[in-house]
Amino acid sequence: MEKTFFIIKPDGVSRGLVGHVLHRMERRGFVIERLEMRQATPELLREHYAALVDKPFFPKIEEYMTSGPLLAGVIKGNRVISSWRTMMGATNPKDALPGTIRGDYAQAPGDSGGIFNVVHGSDSAESAKKEIALWFGSDAL
Ligand code: IDP
Ligand code: MG
């Protein structure tokens, strides 16, 4: 069965949304295989977001993702990679539909331009493998 990597980002943890997010996963029938509270380091984030390191807003991502503890995990289920992306909603909460996590729990970016969107999910089978191994080691694959 397919696995994907997810994060409940520091805003999701500090706003008390952990239970809401995990509840949605369980209601959908996904199995939580790994779940760990972590403090992300800049080094880990540069690997995790390797495709975005050169973007002008990368410092904002780093500041956001290191702003407090986050919850990293692995979930398992049929077509879980694309299903979890659909459940998360669009990257920018201003575009995220109601019923999605970002559409229900996140706001449009403010003047600072930071996009605080509560959750992460791997965007492909290749990313899922890379991210699961990066955060939990290849035993978790
Ligand atoms: P995703 O999280 O929906 O896969 P990505 O494009 O992979 O979106 O971006 C990773 C994260 O970086 C986003 O979830 C968001 O928190 C942040 N981000 C993306 N684009 C911007 C931007 O233009 N300004 C500030 N932060 C951004
Ligand atoms: Mg992404």
Residue nearest to atom 15 of ligand 1 (CA): 115
* pLDDT confidence of residue 24: 98
* Domain span including residue 62: 2-140
Unique residue bearing structure tokens 């984030």: 45
Pocket around ligand 1 at a 6 A CB cut-off:
52, 57, 60-61, 91, 113-115, 117, 120, 123
Question: Domain of 63: which CATH number?
Answer: 3.30.70.141
* pLDDT confidence of residue 112: 79
Torsion on CA atoms 69, 70, 74, 77, rounded to nearest 10: 150
* pLDDT confidence of residue 137: 98
**What would the two tokens of residue 141 be?**
């694959």
Going from the first residue of the chain to its last (141 residues), give the mean pLDDT of each consecutive group of 10, the final group possibly shorter. Answer: 98 98 98 98 98 97 97 98 98 97 95 91 98 97 96
Hey, is 41 helix, strand or coil?
coil
What separation in Å is there between the alpha carbon of 46 and the centre of ligand 1? 13
Alpha helices in the chain (DSSP H): 10-14, 18-28, 42-48, 58-65, 80-88, 101-105, 125-136
Count of domains observed in the chain: 1
Unique residue bearing structure tokens 């992306």: 85
* pLDDT confidence of residue 114: 86
Q: Considering the entire predicted model, what is its pTM?
A: 0.98
C-beta of residue 140 within 8 angstroms of C-beta of residue 132 = yes
